[in-house]
Structure 1
Amino acid sequence: MTPETPVSARPFAQVDVFSPEPFGGNPLAVVLESSGLSTARMQRFANWTNLSETTFLLPPDDSQADYRVRIFTPTEELPFAGHPTLGSAQAWLEAGGKPRQEGILVQESAAGLVRIKTDDGGRLAFAAPALTRSGPVAEEVLDRVAAGLGLSRQALRDAAWLVNGPEWIGVLLDSAAEVLAIRPNYPAMAGLAVGVIGPHPDGESTGFEVRTFISDDLPCEDPVTGSFNAGVAQWLIGSGRAPSSYIAAQGTVLGRTGRVHVEADGAGIWVGGECTTRITGTISI
């Protein structure tokens, strides 16, 4: 077993992800040089930051990747997550990282290689990873979901597993207004990760409203969620219920201004948004 390095100062950044407005997105803590840190120390630091995710950047194991990332919530490590993917890429680039392939950055995570590019609006966007579980959700689970959302079972117009790391259940409602009106009952859907989406009226600047609820040891609503938006885009675009390009709003109820830009092209579905570094310095860890 390799001994852990002593506590030392390491480059650090905190990035505001998925919002064009200051402090409107989902914050991410990034430790830019993490070699020598044990899993236990990473987890303890992620618990201390008390953010939805903290990432640790490492040299890649795969020769095709530009760097490797490990992603932690306050309680566990995740194989993939969306806003940590974009925020880590932003921090790595600003720290002087140079992608091996022009125009495409390749991130290695426990879920595999993820491509990241700059989209037409100058935002970073990641290629939505393949779903590892999809398809219908059992009725008894949907009964729990409906109870947790405070809705009748009939209000859930459709639902599907959208697992791409986090084990999301996606729920489609009739309207954005219904999404915004939800007052979650976390005990009723304990142990489930539920994302809800509903369309805005035609003519609005955003096509859909999204909310995501995590009912584990630390129940919460996530401000802006790249992994869920990646999964739901594959589901709704693939079934013809969403156009090939749209903007989703998220975090409205929490006072955030999350904007997730989705675009399907011949290379897959890209999920992007503005990323702005708000804090830089060093962290003793």
Structure 2
Amino acid sequence: MPTPRPRPFAQVDVFSATPYLGNPVAVVLDAAGLDEGAMRRVARWTNLSETTFVLPPEDPRADYRLRIFTPAGELPFAGHPTLGSAHAWLEHGGVPRTEGRVVQECGAGLVTLRRDDGLLSFAAPPTLRSGALEEEYLERLVTAFGITRDRVVAHQWVDNGPGWAVLRLATAQEVLALEPDLSQIPTAMVGAVGAHPPGSEHAFELRAFAPAAGVAEDPVCGSLNASVGQWLTGTGAAPAHYRVSQGARLDRAGDITVTADPDGTVWVGGTTITCFRGTAAL
């Protein structure tokens, strides 16, 4: 094993204007020379939903390359780690090739980020799988959620890398009331979304359950909000600009902004705040 050396490190809170109430990501800002085994060990040790490693890009169009790990393994793409890593890279002195845009290379390809009104947003990548859930799988999810089939307003595969599926319930309160038995769906990556009453600050409440990734519930999930945003805006179930609240059941205050451009590109953004900065011996 190589002799550890100090590497710049940051831990960034994502999707909350109040520090420590969003979703943290650990970012190793110089991962050159680290092998996959070392990355996996670090991700298990930090025990956050994701830990990322910044590397030189292989694609000449990218500003940097990112590898993203959960405690259980590597993901091709994840939302809040994308925002948090871009924030840390810029704060550490990273200069984008194109002013006003950051291009991240990851397992899902190239992901573009922009900054509007102080918020970083990423362009939602295309889904790898869409369409209605198979009835057998839907029944398994309904059973695990402890609800009846008639409570499901709509359902969809919204997989942009992690394997997401989502159930739409009628109200935010129904989503918040869920007490899922994840032992019944150990390989699932599944969300639930429901509408807040008209006039609320947020249009929807969302929860993300990720037992397949070793995370029972993700406090605030960018990738799921991205693909759900593509689905809801694409079907007219949501306006072109709306906000989502997430994390209340975990004592978090996630605030996600979803914007669909006229060309169909969906942007997912939120506040990013560095809470810890220093070095990691790796």
Partner of 1:111: 108
Q: Give the C-alpha shift of residue 128 in structure 1.
A: 0.3
Partner of 2:36: 39
Structure 1 residues 217 and 128: alpha-carbon distance in aligned structure 2, compared to 1, 3 A threshold:
closer
Q: Aligned partners of 1:19, 1:188: CA distance in 2, in Å?
A: 31
Q: Aligned partners of 2:246, 2:84: CA distance in 1, in Å?
A: 17
**Equivalent runs, 1:1-285 vs 2, <5 Å:** 5-119=2-116, 121-216=117-212, 218-267=214-263, 268-285=265-282
Q: Which runs of 4+ in 1 moved over 6 A?
A: none
Q: Aligned partners of 2:80, 2:54: CA distance in 1, in Å?
A: 15
Aligned residues: 281
* Equivalent position SS for 2:208: strand
Once the two structures are superposed, residues 199-234 of structure 1 have per-residue CA deviations (whole angstroms, 9 ceiling, x without a partner) of: 000111001000011123735111000000000000
Q: Give the C-alpha shift of residue 5 in structure 1.
A: 4.2
Letter paired with 1:195? G
- Between 1:24-33 and 1:185-194, the stretch displaced more is 185-194
Q: Aligned partners of 2:89, 2:52: CA distance in 1, in Å?
A: 11
* Equivalent position SS for 2:198: coil
Q: Which runs of 5+ in 1 are unaligned?
A: none
* Equivalent position SS for 1:157: strand
Letter paired with 2:110? L
Q: Give the C-alpha shift of residue 22 in structure 1.
A: 1.5
Letter paired with 1:127? A
Letter paired with 1:46? A
Once the two structures are superposed, residues 55-104 of structure 1 have per-residue CA deviations (whole angstroms, 9 ceiling, x without a partner) of: 00000000000000000001100000000000000000000001000111
Q: Aligned partners of 1:283, 1:132: CA distance in 2, in Å?
A: 35
Q: Give the C-alpha shift of residue 272 in structure 1.
A: 0.1
- Between 1:258-267 and 1:26-35, the stretch displaced more is 258-267
1:5 and 1:36 in contact (8 A); partners too: no
With structure 1 as the length reference, what TM-score do the two structures score? 0.97
- Between 1:213-222 and 1:63-72, the stretch displaced more is 213-222
Q: Give the C-alpha shift of residue 239 in structure 1.
A: 0.5
With structure 2 as the length reference, what TM-score do the two structures score? 0.98
Q: Give the C-alpha shift of residue 184 in structure 1.
A: 1.1
Letter paired with 2:237? R
Q: Which runs of 5+ in 2 are unaligned?
A: none
Q: Aligned partners of 1:107, 1:130: CA distance in 2, in Å?
A: 15
| Percent of aligned positions that are identical | 52
Structure 1 residues 91 and 179: alpha-carbon distance in aligned structure 2, compared to 1, 3 A threshold:
same
Q: Give the C-alpha shift of residue 147 in structure 1.
A: 1.0
Q: Aligned partners of 2:213, 2:241: CA distance in 1, in Å?
A: 35
Q: Give the C-alpha shift of residue 135 in structure 1.
A: 0.3
Q: Aligned partners of 1:150, 1:215: CA distance in 2, in Å?
A: 17
